[in-house]
Amino acid sequence: MARFPRRDLASEASKHFQGTPEERILAARRLGEEALDHYLASQPPGITREQARRLLQRNKNRGRLHSTVAEAE
């Protein structure tokens, strides 16, 4: 069985906190816009960017989904 190197908390945390806070925020916004572009490309023609953004926001914040299996009993 392969032996993995020991994990260090500082090195693990440093993977997630590279750059300044401003750079991280800009990167997150850029990734969000890229995700919106991909979603918009998968939608039928005629959907605006704002409509696609609202659809994504609605789908992200749907709350708890009830199980149809549990309700059937």
- The per-residue pLDDT for range 14-39, each reduced to its tens digit, is 877 788 889 989 999 999 999 999 99
pTM above 0.85, yes or no: no
**Predicted pLDDT of residue 73:** 54
- 33-69 pLDDT, tens digit each: 999 999 999 999 999 999 999 998 888 777 776 767 7
**Predicted pLDDT of residue 8:** 87
If one counts every other C-beta atom within 10 angstroms of the C-beta of residue 53, the result is 15
Per-residue DSSP letter, 24: H
- The beta strands (E) that lie in 1-73 are given as none
Q: Token digits for 65?
A: 């989904």
Per the CB < 8 A criterion, the answer to whether 40 and 47 are in contact is yes
**H/E run at residue 49:** helix 49-60
**Predicted pLDDT of residue 44:** 92
First to last CA, the chain: 46
